[in-house]
Each structure stands twice: as C-alpha cells, then as structure tokens.
Amino acid sequence: MGRAVKRVVYDERQIADKVKEMGAAITAAYPDGELLVLGLLKGSFIFLSDLVRQISRPLQVDFLVAASYGDKTFSSGTVRLLYDPETELEGKHILLVEDIVDTGRTLGRLMELLSDRRPRSLEICALLHKHIATDLKHPTKFVGFDAPNEFLVGYGLDHAENFRHIPYIASLQ
C-alpha cells in the first residue's frame, strides 16, 4: 500500500455511538414526507449503511459518484460526476450523506446540481468535518465529528482505494 497508519483518531465504539446519535437526530428532524438518503460514493458506503439502520422512519436510498482525488492525498479541485441518481428528487427531503467535508468543492457542486431538481428540502450529513471548506456555501446540518486537518482513512475512507476496510478512522503517515 505504500503508506501506513499513524494513529487511530476514532475507534469502533466512538463511531458506533456517534452514528446512533446521528440516526436519532435525523429521525427527529424528518417527522413527515418522503426522505431520500443520498450517499456519496465511495467513501460514505459504510457510514451510510450503518446510519440508515439507525433512522427510525421510512426512507429510500440512492447514490451519487463524484471524483476529485484520484490517488492523491489532496483534492484536484476538479469534480467529475460519474453516476447520477435515477430516483426522482422533486418534492422529497434529500439528505446528502458524505464521509468527510474538507475542501467543500465536491459538496458545493453537488448541492447546486441537486437544488436544481426542486427537492422539498436539501441537507448535508457528514460523519467528519474538517471545518476548512471555503467553497461550501450550504452548512452541514448533521456532523458526527470535528475532524483534525489530517488525511484520514478507514470506515470507508481511502487512500488510492486502500484502507476502506479498517473498522476505525485513522490518520495516514
């Protein structure tokens, strides 16, 4: 893999407790209407699967695929949409689920695209937020952890497609 884990930032228990707390908050925030939980692949897939099992109300799930990193540890600044959801978005509550908010470029572009489809509401949910985004105009409504400004892997987050499988979140050397 070429790189090694430096330290565990959030362990399995911390993540599970936070995801349960976030699921309860999302359930309370959406008492009625159709809810579409829209996962941003690939990084959010583990978080998304755990999160939807903690939301105690009917919902639908779909995905978006956008790319901005490649095999680097920093965003290229160019966002490419590789898969667009086929689910009808108009009139639904849309919860865009992201693994980590860092530069905000990808989310900013996606929020513009999704807003044009006239959802009833559109919010962002992120497990991790670095609070360094300068390009994100829409606030993140649901945040699990305030993340350190380090390159993080595990629990779905990767470096060049590696480390997604580890059950905790760690910083990369």
Measured CA to CA, the distance from residue 34 to residue 14 in angstroms comes to 30
Q: Is the peptide bond before 42 cis (omega within 30 degrees of 0)?
A: yes
17 is catalytic: no
For residues 114 and 89, is the Cβ–Cβ distance under 8 A? Answer: yes
**Of 50, 99, 102, 158, which residue is the catalytic one?**
102
In 3D, which of 161, 162, 155, 160 has the Cα closest to residue 170? 155
- Do 125 and 96 touch, CB atoms closer than 8 A? yes
Whole-angstrom Cα Rg for the chain:
15
- Positive or negative torsion for Cα 157, 163, 169, 173: negative
Catalytic positions: 102
